[in-house]
Amino acid sequence: MKTVRLHAPNDLRQHEEPEPVPGPGEALVSVKSVGICGSDLHWVGEGGIGDANLEIPLILGHEFAGVIASGGRKGERVAIDPAISCHACEFCQKGKPNLCENIRFAGHALEDGGLREIIAWPEECLIPLPDLLSYADGAMLEPLGVAIHAVDLAQLQAGMTVGVFGCGPIGLLVIQMARLAGAARVYASEPLSHRLAAAQRLGAMEWKPGRQVDVAFEAAGEDDAVEDALKSIIPGGWVILIGIPSNDRTTISATLARHKELTIQLVHRMKFTYPRAIQMVEDGKVDVGSLVTHHFPLEKTREAFTFSHRREGIKVIIDL
């Protein structure tokens, strides 16, 4: 089977490898669509993300969908939850599998991800994909899950005003989720004109300095966006940090945050969101399709990452 591995920063290579053998509770999946995430760009550009560094050649890809190729569910179209939690640790027992102490996550650290023709993955993580949703839609369910989880953490209430700082795929999905949660107004801040235009098509208004909001979501991974979020928020408000900074550091104005007595909440992936995500896309309440702007075949993965790094589109999908 064909795979693409990251050997070093900016060193992606295609390989021919044996098909994996499914273990207990696993099934083979023929991968059809893989989304390129901002965290994947960190891996390629920097050889790591946060406290995780490239130790062995790694197959990236954690936003993916395909069709089951073995076992009793053979032929079933599925979205693939990239997080394999242990179900046994304290945090799993508390209903927080995204904080699992023993978590395995596709395309991260030592766990190979979806940029390959066949993957063996736990059946419990293979989520049935309705016929109405394409494989690219299925790959978009993971970033939508992050947006759902972020809005859940914000305790957003109907009638509140919201600011979204950074309008890549996650920010654009947060805009939609905030509107569904009843936000009276959603303001968007984004330096790239095509992404700001996408935010406006989804119902957001352009944020201008001086406008204040009840809840601010930062989805850029940049200190400038964090600073704008802090400035925009009303005293006593909530700031939700979703973006991942390239240097593993986020800097804030302590005086500003303290004087406003802000609550600053960070987001780590998602939990229990796939059924909600699927239902909202199937019902047409969330638009994921228009966020997918470019497709590349697996053989052009390097070109796909180069294009994604330039941020000329929104979501790039690799098709197998």
pLDDT at 51 over 90: no
pLDDT by residue (tens digit) across 63-90?
999 999 999 999 999 999 999 999 999 9
pLDDT by residue (tens digit) across 4-20?
999 999 999 999 999 99
pLDDT by residue (tens digit) across 217-232?
999 999 999 999 999 9
- Find the mean pLDDT for residues 295-307: 98
Instruction: Say what the pLDDT of residue 59 is.
Output: 98
Q: What value does the CA radius of gyration of the chain take, rounded to a whole number of Å?
A: 19
Q: Are 65 and 117 in contact (CB under 8 A)?
A: no
Q: Could you give the CA distance from residue 167 to residue 228 in angstroms, rounded to a whole number?
A: 14
- Find the mean pLDDT for residues 121-140: 98
CATH 3.40.50.720 domain span(s) along the chain: 145-266
The count of other CB atoms within 10 Å of the CB of residue 295 is: 14
Instruction: Say what the pLDDT of residue 140 is.
Output: 98
Q: Two tokens at 68?
A: 């089951």
Confidence band (pLDDT; 50, 70, 90) for 318? Answer: very high
Q: Could you give the CA distance from residue 233 to residue 216 in angstroms, rounded to a whole number?
A: 6
Instruction: Say what the pLDDT of residue 22 is.
Output: 97
Mean pLDDT is lowest, of 71-75, 133-137, 243-247, for 243-247
pLDDT at 184 over 90: yes
pLDDT by residue (tens digit) across 267-291?
999 999 999 999 999 999 999 999 9
Tell me the β-bridge partners of 77: 67
- Find the mean pLDDT for residues 97-101: 96
CATH 3.90.180.10 domain span(s) along the chain: 2-129+288-319
The CATH number of the domain covering residues in 2-129+288-319: 3.90.180.10
Instruction: Say what the pLDDT of residue 4 is.
Output: 98
pLDDT at 246 over 90: no
Q: Could you give the CA distance from residue 83 to residue 66 in angstroms, rounded to a whole number?
A: 16
State the pTM of this model.
0.96
Mean pLDDT of all residues in the chain? Answer: 96
pLDDT by residue (tens digit) across 15-48?
999 999 999 999 999 999 999 999 999 999 999 9
Instruction: Say what the pLDDT of residue 188 is.
Output: 98
Q: For the chain, how long is the longest CA-to-CA vector?
A: 59
Instruction: Say what the pLDDT of residue 247 is.
Output: 85
Q: Are 113 and 61 in contact (CB under 8 A)?
A: yes
The CATH number of the domain covering residues in 145-266: 3.40.50.720
Percent of the chain at pLDDT exceeding 70: 100
